């Protein structure tokens, strides 16, 4: 009984193609990370502004509650 074995071809075109695919994946990954961590990303700036606004509102509510507690 023989076990089938695949002999990987050593063609330079296949090797260059595999390296090209790996480089393309690396470029995609790096550009994806850079885009979503960029300060120019509109989604991040919009979310950041809304979170700052919510933080201000919460701070105002906390001040109001602390004033009411002092008045008791």
Rounded Cα distance, 8 and 31, in Å = 32
Q: How confident is the model at residue 2 (pLDDT cuts 50, 70, 90)?
A: confident
Whether 1 has a pLDDT exceeding 80, the answer reads no
pLDDT digits (tens, 9 = 90+) for 12-70: 888 899 999 999 999 999 988 888 778 778 888 899 999 999 999 999 999 999 999 99
The residue behind tokens 């071809």 is 9
Cβ proximity of 41 and 35 under 8 Å = yes
pTM: 0.48
pLDDT of residue 72: 83
Residue 41: its pLDDT value, please?
Answer: 80
d(CA 24, CA 44): 26
């Amino acid at each position: 009984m023989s076990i089938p074995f695949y002999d990987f071809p050593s063609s330079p075109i296949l090797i260059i193609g595999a390296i090209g695919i790996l480089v393309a994946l690396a470029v995609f990954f790096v550009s994806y990370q850079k885009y979503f961590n960029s300060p120019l990303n509109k989604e991040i700036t919009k979310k950041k502004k809304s979170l700052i606004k919510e933080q201000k509102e919460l701070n105002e509510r906390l001040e109001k509650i602390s004033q009411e507690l002092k008045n008791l």
